[in-house]
Chains A and B, each alone.
Chain A
Amino acid sequence: MSAPSPRAPLPKGPRPIRVLVAKAGLDGHDRGAKVVAQALRDAGMEVVYTGLRQTPEMIVKAASEEDVDAIGISLLSGAHMTVFPRVLDLLRENGLSHVLLTGGGVIPEKDREALRAAGVGMLFGPGTRTSDLIQYIQREVALRRAHSA
């Protein structure tokens, strides 16, 4: 007889990717965030949806409690140049630099480039096919998980 296994039989297989989808500040445009949350869920991810009016502090607190692989912030209000850098700083302060920070909404190309240079991931604009952002998150999270394994 084989040695006793110390653990109860549980579903094997890869842990689903966990993503926090948040709306920051006073931006009330939640259609895109909901579309994205649903698409990620349909792609097999566990999506924690926080809803509207999140501060960077709330977003990072949630990311830490929920132990997510990625944070996706949807911003159509023009506040992206303050929100993304602040979230990035808080992630670093809280030992969460392995978490992918991505998002989308109405963000001009030059701002996207500046944010990327600061360490934010890809940001997706209006009209993006959800299959593109799904692929990006899957690929990026796989890399980061391999890195920290």
Chain B
Amino acid sequence: MSKTPRPPDASAILRGDRRALGRGLTCVEAMDDEALALLDALWGSTGRARRIGITGPPGVGKSTLASGVIRAYRAGGRGVGVLAVDPSSPVTGGALLGDRHRLGAEAHDPKVFFRSFGSRGSTGGLSRAAPFALDILDAAGFDVVLVETAGVGQTEIEVAATADSVAVVLSPESGDAVQAMKAGLIEIADVLCVNKADREGAEAMVEALDAMLDRAPPAPWRPPVVRTRGLEDASPLFEALETHGKWLLEGGRLEERRRRGLRGRLRSLVHALLAERLLAGQDALLDARAGEAASKRRSLLDAARSTVEEILR
């Protein structure tokens, strides 16, 4: 009765086939064997899209602003591919993927492609799959590729930080600026956006962020702090992102940033592949050394070192 879904086909994705792209992203999300072939085939077509990351605490208005930013790019005739990551329940694995809900008229737009991922509770999984998903959206020919993640968890923050321009969104009720700093959000920001500027406390938050930036060591780019009323107008955010984008185009900054980003991704992939390869078939050795540590015949650190020596011997 039901027709077999075709395996994802790189040439169909390059032609702009929505269904093939949807399927391809599913493979990449699961990092199955089909994903490898797809990523190899599409790699040569990546690197053309402008990549934007939007992160920040839950509920600050990231999706609402993202929809405004999408609209602004569409008004300029550019196609936009979006990846929105929401947390999965660590208990059931289920997730309520609600970011799409905030789309307005863009939801009908054939030049807007929107995909939701659950974080699937695995730090390893998402940090690899999500940047590859952005690569595929890039290869599919969207001029702009936008990723939204909740700025909780290190992985979610890192995923947003793989973009060319990263906006960190805060709101008066998202806690104070110090909390955002503790979460590691401020460091990755190219643009700081205080949303819900209609609410009390927005001005104080802008001032606190500016004061914090005044105290930070001088850097070639100082993130501007913009205010938005996301439900009405995302243009201050859009303009700040575009200003950063233009700055990146000078003096080879974009190439340098991307090279550094790829090196980071390469390093973590190599790390994972090495670990998988070296640990394959070593369960008995691990059991034995763990037993020795448990019975105090060796310290845990000594057990780890001797395990490495034995594996590499």
Contacts and interface: CB of A to CB of B under 8 A. Distances in A.
A62 interface: yes
Nearest to B276: A9
B92 A148 contact: no
Nearest to A92: B3
B94 A5 contact: no
B277 A4 contact: yes
A144 B2 contact: yes
Contacts, number: 142
Interface stretch (B64-72, B109-117, B190-198, B251-259): B109-117
B218 interface: no
B36 A40 contact: no
Contact of B31 (A2, A7, A47, A67): A7
A9 B124 contact: yes
Interface string A23-58: 000000000000001101111111111110011011
Interface in B111-162: 113-116, 118, 120-122, 124-125, 128-129
A44 B92 contact: yes
B246 interface: no
A1 interface: yes
Contacts of A64: 18-19, 22
Given A9-B124, A148-B4, A51 B101 contact: yes
A126 interface: no
B175 interface: no
A101 to B, nearest CB: 11
Interface residues of A, number: 44
B286 to A, nearest CB: 15
Given A9-B272, A65-B18, A65-B22, A43 B92 contact: yes
Nearest to B270: A8
A94 interface: yes
A15 interface: yes
A148 B26 CA distance: 15
B128 A66 contact: no
Given A62-B114, A98-B5, A147-B2, A49 B97 contact: yes
A13 B35 CA distance: 16
Contacts of A96: 19
A44 B124 contact: no
A57 B273 contact: no
A10 interface: yes
A144 B92 CA distance: 22
Contact of A50 (B23, B31, B101): B101
B108 interface: yes
B101 A9 contact: no
A127 interface: no
A38 B94 CA distance: 9
Given A6-B36, A67-B23, A97-B3, A16 B128 contact: no
B186 to A, nearest CB: 30
A58 B101 contact: no
23 contacts: A2-B281, A7-B31, A8-B128, A9-B272, A11-B121, A11-B122, A15-B26, A16-B88, A16-B93, A16-B94, A16-B118, A41-B94, A42-B89, A42-B94, A47-B96, A48-B97, A58-B107, A62-B100, A64-B18, A64-B19, A98-B2, A98-B3, A147-B2
Given A47-B96, A48-B97, A58-B108, 14 more contacts: A6-B36, A7-B36, A9-B272, A10-B31, A10-B129, A38-B96, A41-B89, A44-B89, A62-B100, A64-B19, A94-B19, A95-B5, A98-B5, A144-B2
Interface of A: 1-2, 4-11, 15-16, 37-38, 40-51, 54-55, 57-58, 61-62, 64-67, 94-98, 144, 147-148
Among all A-B residue pairs, the 9 with the closest Cβ atoms: A98-B2, A41-B94, A67-B22, A51-B101, A8-B272, A2-B280, A44-B92, A10-B31, A44-B94
Interface of B: 1-6, 18-19, 21-23, 25-26, 30-31, 33, 35-36, 88-89, 92-98, 100-101, 107-108, 110, 113-116, 118, 120-122, 124-125, 128-129, 269, 272-273, 275-278, 280-281
